[in-house]
Structure 1
Amino acid sequence: MYRILIARKRNEDILEDLILPPVQDHPTLERTLPGGSKLIETADPQNCKAIYITNFRDYQVSETRRKAFRPVTGVSIFTTNGAEWEHSRSMLRPQFTKTLLNNLDSVELELENFWTAIEQKGVEADGWTTSGEISPFIYRLVTDIASDFLFGESIGSQKAFLEKNISERGPQQPSHAERIGGAEFADAYDRVSEYINLRLRFQVPGWILDTKAFRASRDIFRSMPDKYIQKALGGDHAREGAKYDLLSALVEQTRDPTELKDQALSVFNAGRDAQGTTLHWTLLLLGQHPHVFDKLRSIVLGAFPPGDPSVRDPARLKSCHYLNYVSQEALRLYSPVPINSRQATRDTVLPVGGGPDGSQPVALRKGQIVLIHVHAMHQRKGLWGDDALEFKPERWEDQSRFPKEGVMYSPFSAGRRNCIGQSYAMTELGYILARFVQRYDKIELAPESAAARHERIPKSAGPLQKPYELKCRLRRANSSNGGASEVFSS
């Protein structure tokens, strides 16, 4: 416990230095926690399949997870079991429809603000932007996209940031958009994420972490959707011709403001943090591997020539295979949720992991917790080959390696509790990457950055693998170097 709490002071990575080394050596093991309770940890696909699919009813979301998340996200699809979970899933699943998946117009509008933020300090005559940190722009981008999907209107955090930089308004109270896109909300988000991680992974008692600073951060985070819920309950979303959104659909099923807030925050959490983390890592990896960036750009421009509106067609994006390979490989190396967990609802067994050679079943008692090490499983050389730690999108060309019912690759979980927004997330990510390589023909990491030196990337202490750094410069594409800076107008 002591080492966990001082890990950050020692510049240690909780995931890489403390959690993963044992399970990488032994794919299924038992760990004794402070207090004497024992949990099982596994990075074996056979065991994961049993938990997610084959013996689904033998497992549920653990009480530890419920206690970790509920002070932050409340009672939602991510913290419930049984009838409560069925209710949450039935509310949310129909909303991820083909109509919503096809609506990339709003994403394009937010990308325009993203480009402006990146290029706000100017573009040199040779097309290069000023080198700088673009992480805040990425999280404002996904914040605005997620809020538009949820509430039918963007929070507008990127635009508010740009307007604040341009104007000379003097001291004023920040707007709602400025608060959500600013350092205060980002810091609060990181603090509540660290709270969740310490409770979830290390069983740190809530009373130790329930500090004044945590409560202030929790209140900042939970207040985010309030004004949109008030508008929805007031009938603003029901007007004729209003834009369809998730909150409108939820209001048709419940008018309980607390339930609406909990479900909205759970979806926002996934849309903002998980998607932002994935986009961040993907761009960072492309910066570290220029040959992959060049290949991706060539293939995207071949599939979607300048001015071709079919880039907004989800089916066409899905058919651009290398674009998908890049996304899948980034998710393999840096799954946004590196560790999942379940609790046994009855005495049961895992197929493998016991005995001298690990080939025998492992008995679980009712109530025992199992940690599923997605991150470790995605990087096991025994599963992926000697190049398992390398970023190689080409490995996905042989789809026969990945059984349809297999779970050795499961960044979105698997089985009945898989991520209901998986298709939406992959479509959105593919579109952003396609538009990114259409606009820029080079990404160059800042020489002094850890990414450029291929050193360990600083990450948050929350449950997601959120990197803190992406300092780079980008080169605008033009007709003389093989592309168009703009494909179409919105």
Structure 2
Amino acid sequence: MEFDLQTITSFITLHLFTWYGLAIAAGLIYATIGKIKKEMFIRKHGCKEAYVFPDGGPFGLILAYILQKYKSNGEILDFALGLYEKYGRKSTFTAYLFGVRVVVSGEPENMKAVLATQFNDFSLGSRHAHFKPLLGDGIFTLDNEGWKESRQLLRPQFAREQISHVKTLEPHVQVLAEHIRKHKGQTFDLQELFFRLTVDASTEFLFGESVHSLYDESIGRECDPEVAGFAEAFNSAQVALGVRTYLQVAYFLYNPPSFWKNTKTVHKFAKMFVNKALSLTPEELEERTKSHGYTFLYELAKQTRDPKVLQDQLLNIMVAGRDTTAGLLSFAFFELAKHQDVWNKLKEEIYQHFGSGEDSRVEDITFESMKQCTYLKWVLNEVLRMYPSVPVNFRVANKDTTLPIGGGPDGNSPVYIGKGTTFAYSPYMTQRIDKFYGKDAQEFKPERWESSPKLGWAYLPFNGGPRICLGQQFALTEASYVIVRLAQMFPNLVSKYDGPEPCRKLIHLTMCLKDGLEVQMS
């Protein structure tokens, strides 16, 4: 049988239209079934929609622009807190970001559900892709079995006997003191020094050797240029990770050459220490521990000989251990310098326990003795309330599920969370809401902790549930020690801050002061 060209063309066209029609019909049927299943789920659980953010624009592109603008200005957290006031004090609302539904909530019950009681309904989403170039497969980037294995590997490293070794901090604090003295009571940026201090302390704890980033010619100490390059690359790479995180599913849009260059520098530096540890036999590792004391890397090398596991976990812990403590110290001195009554009361307690000036009893400052400093504990609690180290966090639903509260006009109904929905929660917002902390929630007031308020999930500076921070006691101990020693050596603390109120915050993975910490100390 012969067919002319027109017949063949008509035959193909007819079949193409038929297949296209079938595909469209199948898509419509699939969408209809999905919508029916969603409606049945919503009715079954009594869900109602949370307040919908009205100014996001198509696919949430306007909202994405707004968020990036406020983030770059250091105002994104207070912008979010302002929305709470603007839209009828609603602490749960829905928005779209690059077409992805995002449910934002400051309700403690919702955070408890996502982080604990419904833990298995949520994952880190695309965080692994955001962080992988720098942090690889570590405790902060992995989900499921990978995360469980990481936590099991790392948990023993934060045992009480390790975090109690505060004496290793003293040499670094002495170098910090040299920098403070060189300014002779004039104004300087203390936050910049805190970040150098914590990278020095972190690298000694993690690698067994400090990078001594506080060393420079201004205090007559020689600095290693390669070390300075590592610290700078580490900082810049983390800023890039922060940008990628806030872009969420569109993270791939931010991939500048500088990010990869900095990542390469960081990895080269970490590999050097990892290879040094792996060159030792198990017997040599044990001998080194006896002679040099505890080192995170060498203890980890007793558990695994995989160089990638060692490198990735080291960098994961360094991000947490270094930046969170530097931010905590910076915000603490920011508020202490502005509140002389608090500073004087804190000094009085410190001097009573450990002396001051030339009469300082440094040998008495231990993990146990610092726990007896009640007012110091209140100060740190209040700093972490107002300035939690990780002010915003995210989870992604891996199945259709719900939030217990936040839906409907009164905000008391469950909220539908479809598979793939991003849940964003902000300890910064929650910990400044007056219904949890009273009318003075925006005030720095350590005395509020005197009554030991039962806040539950309304106070979440170290996250909660199975992924609660392993190193929280380590960070608190380090920060406490530095505060005690600086109060002993420099009793006069004056704020020279002249910026906006509230202060602007720089956020990448953690939070610090965008405009630095201008003070005078003597």
Same fold (TM over 0.5): yes
The answer on 1:110 being equivalent to 2:172 is yes
Correspondences of 1:257-268 after superposition (within 5 Å): 257-268=307-318
Which of 137, 143, 160 is the equivalent residue of 1:98?
A: 160
CA offsets 1:91-113 (integer angstroms, 9 cap, x no match) = 11101112212211111111111
Shift in CA distance, 387/6, structure 1 to aligned 2, threshold 3 Å? closer
Aligned match of 1:202: 247
Equivalent pair of 1:311/1:431 in contact (CA under 8 Å):
no
Equivalent pair of 1:318/1:324 in contact (CA under 8 Å):
yes
- 1:78 alignment partner, SS class: coil
CA offsets 1:323-381 (integer angstroms, 9 cap, x no match) = 01101100111111001111223222211101110001112122322111111001001
Shift in CA distance, 134/248, structure 1 to aligned 2, threshold 3 Å? same
- 2:405 alignment partner, SS class: strand
Structure 1 residue 218 displacement after superposition: 2.4
Aligned match of 1:484: none
Structure 1 residue 144 displacement after superposition: 0.8
Structure 1 residue 432 displacement after superposition: 1.2
Instruction: Return the alpha-carbon distance in structure 1 between the equivalents of residues 274 and 427 of structure 2.
Output: 35
The answer on 1:136 being equivalent to 2:192 is yes
Structure 1 residue 238 displacement after superposition: 4.8
Aligned match of 1:486: none
Aligned match of 2:83: 22
Shift in CA distance, 208/102, structure 1 to aligned 2, threshold 3 Å? same
Task: Give the total of aligned pairs.
Answer: 447
The answer on 1:408 being equivalent to 2:455 is no
Aligned match of 1:455: 501
Which letter maps to 1:97? A
Larger radius of gyration: 2
Which of 284, 293, 299 is the equivalent residue of 2:343?
A: 293
Which letter maps to 1:450? D
Equivalent pair of 1:338/1:463 in contact (CA under 8 Å):
no
Instruction: Return the alpha-carbon distance in structure 2 between the equivalents of residues 32 and 328 of structure 1.
Output: 34
Shift in CA distance, 202/382, structure 1 to aligned 2, threshold 3 Å? farther
Higher helix share: 2
Which letter maps to 2:401? T
Between the aligned residues of both structures, percent identity stands at 29
Instruction: Return the alpha-carbon distance in structure 2 between the equivalents of residues 220 and 459 of structure 1.
Output: 27
Shift in CA distance, 427/174, structure 1 to aligned 2, threshold 3 Å? closer
Give the TM-score normalised by the residue count of structure 1. Answer: 0.86
- Which moves more between the two structures, 130-139 or 103-112? 130-139
CA offsets 1:216-252 (integer angstroms, 9 cap, x no match) = 2222333332221121111175544233211011111
Correspondences of 1:461-480 after superposition (within 5 Å): 461-468=507-514, 469-475=516-522
Correspondences of 1:72-91 after superposition (within 5 Å): 72-91=134-153
Which letter maps to 1:347? D
The answer on 1:149 being equivalent to 2:205 is yes
Shift in CA distance, 31/65, structure 1 to aligned 2, threshold 3 Å? same
Aligned match of 2:266: 221
- Which moves more between the two structures, 132-141 or 198-207? 198-207
CA RMSD of aligned residues (A): 2.2
User: Structure 1 stretches (4+) deviating beyond 6 angstroms?
Assistant: none
Shift in CA distance, 322/238, structure 1 to aligned 2, threshold 3 Å? same
Instruction: Return the alpha-carbon distance in structure 1 between the equivalents of residues 274 and 219 of structure 2.
Output: 29
Which letter maps to 1:43? G
Correspondences of 1:163-178 after superposition (within 5 Å): 163=217, 166=220, 174-178=224-228
CA offsets 1:25-80 (integer angstroms, 9 cap, x no match) = 3211111112x220111100111111222222222222x22221112211110111
Equivalent pair of 1:231/1:237 in contact (CA under 8 Å):
no
Instruction: Return the alpha-carbon distance in structure 2 between the equivalents of residues 313 and 391 of structure 1.
Output: 27
Instruction: Return the alpha-carbon distance in structure 2 between the equivalents of residues 155 and 175 of structure 1.
Output: 11
Give the TM-score normalised by the residue count of structure 2. Answer: 0.81
Shift in CA distance, 326/238, structure 1 to aligned 2, threshold 3 Å? same
Correspondences of 1:82-481 after superposition (within 5 Å): 82-121=144-183, 123=184, 129-158=185-214, 160-161=215-216, 163=217, 166=220, 174-181=224-231, 185=232, 188-203=233-248, 205-235=250-280, 237-240=285-288, 241-305=291-355, 306-309=359-362, 311-399=364-452, 401-403=453-455, 406-446=456-496, 449-450=497-498, 455-468=501-514, 469-475=516-522
Aligned match of 2:4: none
Equivalent pair of 2:191/2:330 in contact (CA under 8 Å):
yes
- 1:370 alignment partner, SS class: strand
Instruction: Return the alpha-carbon distance in structure 1 between the equivalents of residues 362 and 248 of structure 2.
Output: 50
Structure 1 residue 203 displacement after superposition: 2.3
Shift in CA distance, 259/303, structure 1 to aligned 2, threshold 3 Å? same
Equivalent pair of 1:450/1:457 in contact (CA under 8 Å):
no
CA offsets 1:409-444 (integer angstroms, 9 cap, x no match) = 111001111000111111111111111211121211
Instruction: Return the alpha-carbon distance in structure 2 between the equivalents of residues 304 and 6 of structure 1.
Output: 47
Instruction: Return the alpha-carbon distance in structure 1 between the equivalents of residues 422 and 252 of structure 2.
Output: 21
Which letter maps to 1:363? Y
CA offsets 1:444-468 (integer angstroms, 9 cap, x no match) = 122xx335xx634343241322114
Shift in CA distance, 375/226, structure 1 to aligned 2, threshold 3 Å? same
Instruction: Return the alpha-carbon distance in structure 2 between the equivalents of residues 301 and 254 of structure 1.
Output: 45
Instruction: Return the alpha-carbon distance in structure 1 between the equivalents of residues 69 and 388 of structure 2.
Output: 25
CA offsets 1:132-173 (integer angstroms, 9 cap, x no match) = 222221111111111111112221111x22x46537x9xxx9
Shift in CA distance, 5/358, structure 1 to aligned 2, threshold 3 Å? closer
Shift in CA distance, 342/238, structure 1 to aligned 2, threshold 3 Å? same
Instruction: Return the alpha-carbon distance in structure 2 between the equivalents of residues 321 and 370 of structure 1.
Output: 36
Structure 1 residue 301 displacement after superposition: 1.0
Instruction: Return the alpha-carbon distance in structure 2 between the equivalents of residues 88 and 470 of structure 1.
Output: 35
Structure 1 residue 215 displacement after superposition: 1.7
Aligned match of 1:480: none
Instruction: Return the alpha-carbon distance in structure 2 between the equivalents of residues 344 and 244 of structure 1.
Output: 40
Which of 97, 117, 128 is the equivalent residue of 1:33?
A: 97
- Which moves more between the two structures, 72-81 or 461-470? 461-470
Shift in CA distance, 445/237, structure 1 to aligned 2, threshold 3 Å? farther
Instruction: Return the alpha-carbon distance in structure 2 between the equivalents of residues 44 and 6 of structure 1.
Output: 26
